[in-house]
Amino acid sequence: MGYTKKTLQELDLIDNFLSNAIASNRELGEPFYRLLLSVLLGKELKTVRVLAQQVIPAATPELRGIRMDVEITEYDEGTVTNIYDMEPHLKDGLHLPKHNRYYQAKIDGRYVKRGLKDFSEIPNLYVITITNYDIFGRDYMMYTVRNKCEEIPDMEYDDGLQFIYFNTKGQKGGSQAIKNMLKYIQNSDSKNAVDDATRKIDYYVRKVKNLPEVEAGYMTLGDWIDSIVDSVKEEDIKVVVEILKELHETKDNAVLKIRSKFPEFANQAERLVEKYWKEG
């Protein structure tokens, strides 16, 4: 089908595949994400556990589940204190505030056990979105969103929830350390490793990119599409659309590729791409 995509060495941290490859590595994932979050959030993290592509199924078949790109759980003396849902998003048409509202509800639901009486025991939740575009159009490198009381704006309302949107191209707000890290996330080249934190992050990135299992996993993304020959079902097309997004194809190119590869879905290609592209 003549796919054009970045090589593994060309991937940046804004790309889902690379961020998840690091999260999936037991040796590198924890120190990498502890350092990354420490810089972005301006605080030192304690003991963490990192999981990649965590799936939270729907409560019933007619409802939709979610897939978290990277989940970082922070512990203090064995107790879960903070949950960090971290997701890079290339521009794809999602309404991110409502998308994240839904994710927050699903994540919180896992920590409310039957019989819980003291809701202060629910861990704090940080829903962290990293984009290569400015969803609010104010040119800030980060937007921190908390619930508050409209009548008394300075009244503390501590529900333990924060939504943080990082814009890799933003110029306002934040610190120089955050700006350096966001620039590296956007373009993960060693030339953009300009301070101690980004140099350490760059070391982890280069190490992961040279792992044989990571290279093999990346090669299979495009190869999988070409391997589908018979008995294609709509759920297969959904996976194809997700992979084409991962390979940085445009919507229009995705429609053309599905039409040419799967003629039985030619008349439905545009509808299917539109449907699954928005699901994220």
Closest to 187 (Cα-Cα) out of 9, 5, 6, 11: 11
Place of tokens 């928005």: 278
| Angle, helices 234-246/251-261, rounded to nearest 10 degrees | 140
Closest to 31 (Cα-Cα) out of 44, 42, 14: 44
DSSP 8-state assignment for residue 109? H
Output the pLDDT for position 2.
37
Output the pLDDT for position 3.
38
DSSP 8-state assignment for residue 141? S
CA distance 103 to 163: 11
Q: For residue 198, give Cα distances in angstroms to 24, 39, 187.
A: 20, 9, 12
The token pair at 175 is: 């610190």
DSSP 8-state assignment for residue 172? B
Residue 15, Cβ density class (10 Å: 0-12 exposed, 13-18 middle, ≥19 buried): buried
CB atoms within 10 A of CB 4: 9
**In a structure prediction context, what are the per-residue pLDDT tens digits for the chain, which is 280 residues long?**
333 467 889 999 998 888 888 998 989 999 999 999 999 999 999 899 998 865 555 555 555 555 557 899 999 888 889 999 998 887 666 788 998 998 898 888 887 777 778 888 889 999 999 999 999 999 999 999 999 999 999 999 999 999 999 999 999 999 999 999 999 999 999 999 999 999 999 999 999 999 988 887 776 655 656 666 556 777 778 877 877 776 667 888 888 888 877 778 888 888 888 888 865 4
Output the pLDDT for position 161.
96
CA distance 145 to 150: 14
Q: What is the helix (H) or strand (E) element at residue 85, kind and residue range?
A: strand 79-89
H helix intervals, 42-156 = 96-109
Output the pLDDT for position 92.
61
β 66-76/47-56 pair status: antiparallel
Q: Which amino acid makes up residue 167? A: N
DSSP 8-state assignment for residue 210? T
Output the pLDDT for position 5.
63
Residues 6+ apart with CB under 8 A from 134: 140, 167, 169, 170
Q: Is 252 helix (H, G, I), strand (E, B) or coil?
A: helix
The token pair at 5 is: 């995509």
Q: Is residue 273 within 8 Å of 243, Cβ to Cβ?
A: no
Prediction pTM value: 0.76
